[in-house]
Amino acid sequence: MNLTPDDLFKIMLQSRGTPLSGRQILSHFQLSRDERQHALQLLDSMAEEGLVRRVRKGLYALPKSTDMVVGKVSVHRQGYGFVVPEDRNRPDVFVPARFMREVMNGDRVAVQVQRSSKGGFEGRVLRVMERAHQQVVGTYRPGPGAGIVIPNDPALPQAILLSSAPPRGLQPGYLVVASIERYPDRQHPPTGSILEILGDPADPQVEILAVAHKYDLPREFSMAAQEQAQSVAPAIDPESLAGREDLRSRPLITIDGETAKDFDDAVAVSREPGGATRLWVAIADVAHYVEPDSPLDRDALERGTSVYFPGTCLPMLPEALSNGICSLQPDVDRLVLTAEMLFDAQGARLESRFYPAVMRSKARLTYREVARVLTAEETPDPALTDELTSQLQLMAELALHLQAMRYRRGSLDFDLPEPEIVLDLQGRPDQILRAERTVAHRIIEEFMLAANEAVATFLSDRSLPLLYRVHEPPNEEKLLAFQAFLAHFNIGMVLDGDAVHPSTLQTALEAVRGRPEERMINQSLLRSMKQARYSAENLGHFGLASDCYCHFTSPIRRYPDLVVHRILRRALDGRGVSSPAKGLEELGEITSQRERRAMEAEREIVALKRCQVMSDKVGEVFEACVADVQPFGIFVELKDIFVEGLVHVTALTDDFYEFDEALHRLVGQRRRRIFRIGDPLMVQLVKVNLERRELDFELQGMTPSAAPSGSGRRPGKKKR
């Protein structure tokens, strides 16, 4: 057994500061005589490096808590880094570049905190406890020896020196996957070998492969999962209809995007006596086909969610299920788990019922089609019967009531536009548009929110274990910072102690609706809030102002929804839920992490596509407006192309500019030119950095001027 410093650390942490002898530490492991000798030598070397203390002969203890920090390191492009402590009560530790030569971004490290020559504190890396990277995606370049691989990730600035000849057919500039064989030290760069050739980086499919490798996204299903998927019949087995309600005569329809193929949900409504409205939300019964701990289930959990890239998808389930038997396609029978709810005229839920059913979708509609019908922009499609058209009108009315009900209780609605990437026939980005959010989107959003909340309430009221979707309130420090930020725009926000109700933040968002700074304040509030996650403990959903919420409506593409389906089905069958609920807290952590992984990968691809759209436009001039102002420059958003870039303060050459934090603007010292959010500008694209996913602009007509004298500068202010 080869012990590591981390193994010994864990034992010493359990002692809670009590010094231990080498014998006491090693008694926790089954070691041979030689292994014990090696472990004692490891303890001595850890003491020499400062990782542990010798308190007296033969006894060891961890360094004082003020001396050492263990956490993950974030490497800046200029070489220095910050360690984020595992102890959340401790501040981040700055590590100068001279102590970072052995470290790679994301590594778990132990750092010694010491006073710097400038009077503050800094960290010195004592040991890398755990490596974050075993493989990296990068660009192959011929060079010394067998060549080098330059990592695509800007946070990994060190090139990997190849220790063996590259594979045949590898061209300079191709993307590859390299395994790291030796990590960097003070004298040597990292070395490794090429595991896989991805191909030409200009190929859209290679871009997807590179991002999938970077974020460790599974690309292929296991052979066992593929065989299991192929064994599923493409049509419903009549025996599976036993015990299900028949909704095939109900006018259920799907409403999705133009390119969607995995239809999770279908909806229908009807007017009831007294003005109430009945809503059916039928969700694909994925749990009928995917048994717990089956090959399909294990692969789905490994993914956690489907990952959507422009023009393609890495599905959570094989296409035979996700686009086939589980997809609620029109005019075919499908198995569903249904939430049937009754709402009064104000949008309050009066009753709910849940049951397995069989359905047949009457139409596959797109958001754009539904929006055009409801806004009377064009003559309805002849395929849309009068019954379906009246259904859509009633759906829009119910959605409006549900939205108003949520608003009354304080639910937050962020108005942040999303990019829509239009691809050409070769799969390359052709346009980037501001995605349209129509009444059709609101219908589906409100209906899914209502179904999710109804299911969570049903199971919670019966004290059944559940995987909740939780969103905790922001902490006091961030609330106070956001309050101060709003004050810069003459918007008041009253905080009652260290707590805040969502309605207080909702009022602040309403105060800026339609103003130039609306987008920036929405983004600032989002950054101030905690991230929603999955948990076995019901902590409520702050953003929705909901006391009880879960995810139920997308089991084709989200694993937590599949878990909730299993729990609900067992509850309806009266079988209890001890088996599906086992390990829910751990499951919540795993699925939350995999959701964040997918979101980061999707954001990176969108950022890359934005840069690619602009790559042939260097030198062109665009109409834009100021989207945000920071001490280092102004972010501008183009008028006709939905992209954003930076005009760095060093490009403002006509003056020296100071950042006015109180009014969130840049002010020229001599000419008093001011840049504030919403200001229209004409900007010229000067650089596209595909590696960093960045766009650099300059103001059109900006001419250099003589620098003002030193006496004209105000001490202590931030300058370019």
Over residues 132-142, the pLDDT tens digits come to 999 999 999 99
Query: How buried is residue 66: exposed, middle or buried, by Cβ count under 10 Å (0-12/13-18/19+)?
Result: exposed
pLDDT in tens, 399-426: 999 999 999 999 998 877 888 899 888 8
708 band by pLDDT with thresholds 50, 70 and 90? very low
pLDDT of 105: 92
Which residues lie closer than 8 Å to 527 by C-beta, 6 or more apart?
Answer: none
Residue 22 pLDDT > 70: yes
Residue 120 pLDDT > 80: no
CA distance 507 to 511: 6
Residue 348 pLDDT > 90: yes
CATH 1.10.10 fits 5-61, yes or no: yes
CA distance 486 to 336: 47
Given a contact cutoff of 8 angstroms between Cβ atoms, the answer to whether 4 and 46 are in contact is: no
H/E segment holding residue 455: helix 439-461
Residue 112 pLDDT > 90: no
pLDDT of 713: 33
pLDDT of 378: 60
Residue 280 pLDDT > 50: yes
- Three-state secondary structure readout of 123-164: EEEEEEEECCCCEEEEEEECCCCCCEEEECCCCCCCCEEECC
**Who wins on pLDDT, 120 or 208?**
208
Which residues lie closer than 8 Å to 394 by C-beta, 6 or more apart?
Answer: 269, 270, 271, 277
Residue 198 pLDDT > 60: yes
677 band by pLDDT with thresholds 50, 70 and 90? confident
**Who wins on pLDDT, 384 or 446?**
446
Residue 220 pLDDT > 50: yes
Please tell me the number of Cα atoms within 13 Å of 717 on its side-chain side.
Answer: 18
Which residue bears the tokens 């950022």?
607
Lowest mean pLDDT among 19-23, 313-317, 539-543, 655-659: 19-23
pLDDT of 65: 56
Lowest mean pLDDT among 480-489, 491-500, 509-518: 491-500
Amino acid at 413: D
pLDDT of 206: 94
**Who wins on pLDDT, 60 or 276?**
276
Beta strands in 225-320 (DSSP E): 245-246, 253-256, 265-271, 277-284, 307-309, 312-314
H/E segment holding residue 687: strand 680-689
Can you give the pTM of this predicted structure?
0.84
Cα torsion through 299, 304, 306, 310, rounded to 10: -120
CA distance 327 to 556: 8
List beta partners, residue 277: 271, 343
The residue among 335, 331, 243 whose CA lies nearest residue 284 is 335
Residue 252 pLDDT > 60: yes
CA distance 502 to 541: 10
What are the distances in angstroms from CA 317 to CA 218, 262, 305, 558? 11, 10, 9, 10
Average confidence (pLDDT) over 542-559: 96
705 band by pLDDT with thresholds 50, 70 and 90? very low
Q: Do domains 68-130 and 135-201 have the same CATH topology?
A: yes
Residue 703 pLDDT > 60: no
pLDDT of 377: 64
Beta strands in 493-606 (DSSP E): 533-535
Mean residue pLDDT of the chain comes to 88
Which residues lie closer than 8 Å to 633 by C-beta, 6 or more apart?
Answer: 646, 647, 648, 649, 650, 651, 652
Crossing angle for the helix pair 476-487 and 518-528, to the nearest 10 degrees: 170
**Who wins on pLDDT, 148 or 118?**
148
pLDDT of 498: 65
pLDDT of 710: 36
576 band by pLDDT with thresholds 50, 70 and 90? low
Q: CATH number of the domain at 615-712, please?
A: 2.40.50.140
Residue 704 pLDDT > 50: no
Average confidence (pLDDT) over 488-504: 81
pLDDT in tens, 505-549: 998 888 888 888 888 888 888 888 999 999 999 999 999 999 999
pLDDT of 720: 38
Residue 714 pLDDT > 80: no
212 band by pLDDT with thresholds 50, 70 and 90? very high
CATH topology of domain 68-130: OB fold (Dihydrolipoamide Acetyltransferase, E2P) (2.40.50)
383 band by pLDDT with thresholds 50, 70 and 90? low
Domain boundaries in the chain? 5-61, 68-130, 135-201, 223-472+534-602, 476-529, 615-712
pLDDT of 674: 93
Crossing angle for the helix pair 559-573 and 439-461, to the nearest 10 degrees: 50
The fraction of the chain above a pLDDT of 90, given in percent, is 59
Residue 263 pLDDT > 80: yes
Residue 716 pLDDT > 50: no
Lowest mean pLDDT among 15-24, 105-114, 301-310, 564-573: 15-24
Residue 430 pLDDT > 80: yes
Average confidence (pLDDT) over 327-353: 96
Please tell me the number of Cα atoms within 13 Å of 573 on its side-chain side.
Answer: 14
CA distance 291 to 455: 21
Among 308-312, 700-704, 706-710, which range has the highest average pLDDT?
Answer: 308-312
pLDDT in tens, 587-641: 999 999 999 999 999 999 999 999 999 999 999 999 999 988 999 999 999 998 9
CATH topology of domain 135-201: OB fold (Dihydrolipoamide Acetyltransferase, E2P) (2.40.50)
CB atoms within 10 A of CB 251: 19
**Who wins on pLDDT, 44 or 180?**
180
